[in-house]
Amino acid sequence: MKIKHIKVPEVSVGQRIDNFLLKNFKGVPKSRVYRAIRGGEVRVNKGRVKADYRLQLDDEVRMPPLRVSTQKPPMMTLRLQEILSEQIIYEDKGIILLNKPSSIAVHGGSGVSAGVIEALRQARPHCKYLELIHRLDRDTSGCLLVAKKPSVHKDMCELFASRKIKKSYLMLVHGKCHFKHKRIKAALEKDVVRSGERIVRVDPKGREAITDFYCLHASNKASVLLAQPKTGRMHQLRVHAAYIEHPIIGDKKYGDQERDKKLGKLGLKRLYLHAVSLEFVIPNSADQFGVCAVLDDAFSGLRRQIMTGYLSR
């Protein structure tokens, strides 16, 4: 394989460089693609870029000679395809909006052979174009947008990049919140620990991160919060919740393991973070679009116990 230089087409404008590479290097481990970005093997207009760089029209991307697997992607089980089909909230000619279940990744990589987007493509072989517009953590449930046209993908990515989409999340957190509204401005920095796992820390030298928290209900041991991120940083809500000393229940990376253990009798089954709604003005029109994703049984059950004061006993 040889080094290639590719001019960014119009359909890829606004797309993150990591997503662009993952699409073009199908079969290459995700970790290898990110290592190529960090090491400068991938360059845009002859300069280094970070993984979240968004491509511009006619950018020249240096594509290193990464080895692409010739193996076919694993077939998704029919059951997974059925589950995702059942979770579609809205669909038209341009987008699919589904209520992603917790524990299902949005795409393959980092030890996951495949996820939502691969399953949708296999379930709909007649669809010529299916691409994720944004991402959710594997253990986060809720609203997830998929584009069915390049033009829609471009327009929606621009909305996300310009912060014109209002995102709301429900979260169940440890401790009694004593505020009605709290805005957190705490910059975030990505880091890699010895195991190779990526984590995020609050660091004044990091990138700007802003979250509005609203307390919907508070008991002595736990609270129900509505969170609205004003920026879109990796693990932003989880890190900001821990930063205000109200870690999300069931968060194995940034949470409180001891307090989670004390709630073990309740049968905690997931990370209690749910992308409950999306609101935006449809591109090239004045129409407002809004959608809500219902909670699963595990989430609604624990929420009910917090609301009724069961956890205070």
| Tens digit of each residue's pLDDT (9 = 90 or more) over 245-265 | 999 999 999 999 999 988 877
| More confident position, 1 or 9 | 9
Question: Could you give the domains of the chain?
Answer: 4-58 (no CATH), 78-161 (3.30.2350.10), 166-312 (3.30.2350.10)
| Tens digit of each residue's pLDDT (9 = 90 or more) over 26-53 | 778 778 888 899 999 999 999 999 988 9
- Report d(CA 115, CA 127) in Å as an integer: 17
What letter represents residue 53's amino acid? Y
| Tens digit of each residue's pLDDT (9 = 90 or more) over 140-152 | 999 999 999 988 9
| Tens digit of each residue's pLDDT (9 = 90 or more) over 190-221 | 887 666 678 999 999 999 999 999 999 999 88
* 187 pLDDT more than 60: yes
User: DSSP characters for 223-273?
Assistant: EEEEEEESS--TTHHHHHHHHTT-PBTT-TTTS-HHHHHHTGGG---S--E
* 113 pLDDT more than 80: no
* 285 pLDDT more than 90: no
- HSE-up of 89 (CA within 13 Å, CB side)? 20
Task: Name the β-bridge partners of 121.
Answer: none
Judged by average pLDDT, the poorest of 105-114, 154-163, 277-286 is 105-114
- HSE-up of 81 (CA within 13 Å, CB side)? 12
The verdict on pTM exceeding 0.85 is no
Question: According to the model, what pLDDT value does residue 127 have?
Answer: 86
What token pair was written down for 217?
């209900």
- Report d(CA 300, CA 238) in Å as an integer: 19
| More confident position, 229 or 113 | 229
What token pair was written down for 108?
């393959």
- Report d(CA 154, CA 150) in Å as an integer: 6
* 69 pLDDT more than 80: no
What token pair was written down for 83?
């589950």
Question: According to the model, what pLDDT value does residue 31 have?
Answer: 80
Per-residue pLDDT band for 82 (boundaries 50, 70, 90) equals confident
Question: According to the model, what pLDDT value does residue 251 have?
Answer: 96
Q: Parallel, antiparallel, or unpaired: how do β-strands 43-44 and 4-7 relate?
A: unpaired
Indicate which residues carry an active-site annotation. Answer: 137
* 74 pLDDT more than 60: no
Q: What is the largest CA-CA distance in the chain?
A: 66
- The count of other CB atoms within 10 Å of the CB of residue 96 is 21
User: DSSP characters for 185-221?
Assistant: E--EEEEE-TTS-EEEEE-TTSB--EEEEEEEEE-SS
> What is the distance in angstroms between the CA of the first residue and the CA of the last residue of the chain?
65
Using DSSP's 3-state secondary structure scheme, residue 108 falls into coil
Is-contact 138 105, C-beta < 8 A?
A: yes
